[in-house]
Structure 1
Amino acid sequence: MTTGVAERKRSTARRFVVPVARVLTIVLVGALAVWKLDLDEVHDAFHITSWAFLTIAILANFASVGFKGLAWKGVVDALPGMRSRTRYRELLSPLFVGFLFNTVLAARVGEIVKVLLLRRRLERRGERPPTTTLLGTVVAENLVSTITWVGLVIAIGLFLPLPSYAWVASISLGLGCLVVVMVALLSGPGRQLPPWLNTGPLWARATRAVTRLWGAVRESHLGLRDPRQMSLVVGASLATWLAQWTGIYFTLMAFGLERVGWGGAGLLLVTITLAQAFPVLPGNLLVFQAAAVVPLTASYGVSAAEAIAFSVVLQATEAVVGVAVGFMFLVAEGVGFGQLRRQAEEEDRRTTSRGTAPVDTLAGQ
């Protein structure tokens, strides 16, 4: 009883302390920007030279999300327990609603939200994959997508100059994801974790926490052993990144920053993607701006005011897809934002608290 009360107190404290800390961070950084920057210069920098290019950038970002849905569909369809292939429209609404949650919240609640919505749709036609298995498809799609992104970055670097830190960060992240994917593909069908991750007393607690998710990720990769299915996921992932790269380039063009070019757009694709991998503030505010401003000012001589204005508009072109389109799909789902958030947080707690349970006992959750 005492433990439960203490846990509730800690949960309440986190609920208030974390948002307050985030708001204070935004206020402090904003105050520093006001102090250091010439606001009139920043205001003048918000000058769009071509609204047509900006429209193309928004459409490219919309296409990027659509291609990501195709990649996720490829992973879901490859699940061993699926009796029939999903329809693309069944994933479209969960995908955009999840994007909405990831855009306006700091944590990756959107990943759980889209899984909950997809599970509800699949249950309507008699499919009952475990929630953890569907979470595994999200992880698997993200892993394959990251490896594809690294391949694209390498291809960009072969033809367009990229700084050394972009190479190191991209290849390091890609190698880590490649290891996970290869271990998952090579694991036996009845194995939850590779033997070298399941031995020794130091791994006892870690194994209990990781087993459930690892089993789901491994199961999600089983169908990807089919070269055709893997090619579908990789191809859709590549199209996702190409669309994002295009969106960044045309946003640069809309600001008259043609001199940055495709190479600079490729560098921004690297820095912004790395920044978005670690969501700290809602909508990744400030972190996104830093990821765009630093390379533009340091590598391409863009003024700080222009870089800040560009970063704000670039984030807006990406956010409008998640917020506007995601909100419309949320209304169509007939569920409130707060209600869906509570369901996702409850599912997250349930998943964590049952970390010792084997994956195959969680069907129907």
Structure 2
Amino acid sequence: PGRRRLRTARRAGLLAAAGALALLSFEALRRVGFDSISGTLLASSPTWVIVALALMCGSMVLRAGAWHAILRAAVTDVRPKLSDALQGTFIGVLMSATLPARLGEPSRALIVARRLGRPREHLPVVLGTLVSQTLLNLLALVILGAIMFSTVGLFAGRQQALVFYALAPFVALCVVLVAPALLRSGLPSRSSRVAQSLDRARQALTRVRSGLAVFSSARHAAVAVTLQLGAWAVQWASCYVLFVALGLDDRANLGAAAAVLFAVNVTAVLPLTPSNLGVFQAACVAVLTGAYGIKTADALGYGIILQAVEVATAVIMGAPALVKEGVSWREVRLRALHSSPVSLPPRGSRGAFETD
């Protein structure tokens, strides 16, 4: 009964938030003008939109390649395949596009751990590799931030926000590195159950820390850094191509594309809605109108098309991956939402996700 009430309250909260977001979005569209926005969307070049979509898909492939290099450095008892990283990345992108709170991250870790076999043992290590990839994403964002701050004056005096944002992953990294020592076995405890729980937590965190092994291998690190930064560069190009598609490239240059890409990623640190809907467009409007003098209707139209391209990428890449994996969207969603331990069977069991 308690869990049922909690589930009902959670659903009611999500529905209320979705309703509020819908009302705010409608009001924003009404103020800007439906005709102006629709005119911007209809005036876009389908050819250039398709080019942007292809670039976005290519970016996902490069991200998977970078993750594969990280996995190979971290997982030593089996040899991760490139297809493992591709499947996990594509499904994770799809889940991120359709679920709030970055639930695509645990989803892709679950998929890869399942494909590697012995998922209970491999899941902490795979989660550790996500930390490594997050650090590479941080490097890319710092580069984008530097480009943005050097080309626009909108953020002048606000560089401190970039510093605070950059510190967050490093704090998480320190926790991962130090926590196993703090939870070392032998600590006095009045409860054997507490002692066992602490020991299991220490072992899991130690395996998570092994996911950072890529930084101790020059070869794997070079591949991971090159591919991950390459993925960001391709995504950056995709953002610029959409300016061309909308005829905004005479006012919005590569610096504008970097600013948009930086802004939408900073606002998506913990998205409250699937695909960060609403906030995504607001970030685009704030950057393009405030720094480049682009009309609100054009900026909002750009935000709508950019997000449509990202969601289309998630569906094009993720839906076939789900079919190939033999699991349903609902199964992956349930495992990503539940924080209780799960036993993920090897791929021999077609799509069966079982709880303990």
Deviations 1:295-347 (A, max 9, x none): 1111111111111111100111111110122111112222221122223333x
Taking the aligned partners of 1:283 and 1:120, their CA distance within structure 2 comes to 25
- Per the TM alignment, residue 171 of structure 1 is displaced from its structure 2 partner at its CA by 3.3
SS at match of 1:349: coil
Aligned partner of 1:297 among 280, 284, 289: 289
Query: In the alignment, is the contact (CA less than 8 A) between 2:148 and 2:259 conserved in 1?
Result: no
Aligned partner of 2:130 among 130, 135, 138: 138
- Per the TM alignment, residue 19 of structure 1 is displaced from its structure 2 partner at its CA by 2.1
SS at match of 1:278: coil
Taking the aligned partners of 2:284 and 2:115, their CA distance within structure 1 comes to 38
Aligned partner of 1:192 among 169, 177, 180: 180
Taking structure 1 as reference, are residues 23 and 49 closer, same or farther at Cα in structure 2, changes over 3 Å only?
A: closer
Taking structure 1 as reference, are residues 168 and 249 closer, same or farther at Cα in structure 2, changes over 3 Å only?
A: farther
Partner of 1:77: 72
Partner of 2:247: 256
Partner of 1:119: 113
Partner of 1:98: 92
- Per the TM alignment, residue 160 of structure 1 is displaced from its structure 2 partner at its CA by 3.2
Partner of 1:110: 104
Q: Tell me which amino acid in the other structure corresponds to 2:209.
A: R
Q: Tell me which amino acid in the other structure corresponds to 1:86.
A: P
Taking the aligned partners of 1:165 and 1:70, their CA distance within structure 2 comes to 37
Query: In the alignment, is the contact (CA less than 8 A) between 1:116 and 1:131 conserved in 2?
Result: yes
Partner of 2:331: 339
1:26 counterpart = 2:17: no
Structure 1, unpaired ranges of 5+: 352-364
Structure 2, unpaired ranges of 5+: 188-193, 343-355
1:244 counterpart = 2:240: no
Taking the aligned partners of 2:201 and 2:285, their CA distance within structure 1 comes to 37
Q: Tell me which amino acid in the other structure corresponds to 1:12.
A: T
Q: Tell me which amino acid in the other structure corresponds to 2:8.
A: T
- Greater alpha carbon shift after TM alignment, 297-306 vs 35-44: 35-44
Aligned partner of 2:52 among 36, 49, 57: 57
1:313 counterpart = 2:278: no
Query: In the alignment, is the contact (CA less than 8 A) between 2:148 and 2:256 conserved in 1?
Result: no
Deviations 1:119-140 (A, max 9, x none): 22212xx887432221221222
What TM-score, normalized by structure 2, do the two folds share?
A: 0.82
SS at match of 1:85: coil
Query: In the alignment, is the contact (CA less than 8 A) between 1:78 and 1:229 conserved in 2?
Result: yes
Query: In the alignment, is the contact (CA less than 8 A) between 2:144 and 2:262 conserved in 1?
Result: no
Query: In the alignment, is the contact (CA less than 8 A) between 1:57 and 1:317 conserved in 2?
Result: yes
Partner of 1:229: 220
SS at match of 1:248: helix
Taking the aligned partners of 2:149 and 2:29, their CA distance within structure 1 comes to 40
Taking structure 1 as reference, are residues 36 and 217 closer, same or farther at Cα in structure 2, changes over 3 Å only?
A: same
Deviations 1:243-270 (A, max 9, x none): 1111110001110111110111111111
Taking the aligned partners of 1:40 and 1:270, their CA distance within structure 2 comes to 29
What do you get for the CA RMSD once the two structures are aligned? 2.9
Partner of 2:272: 280
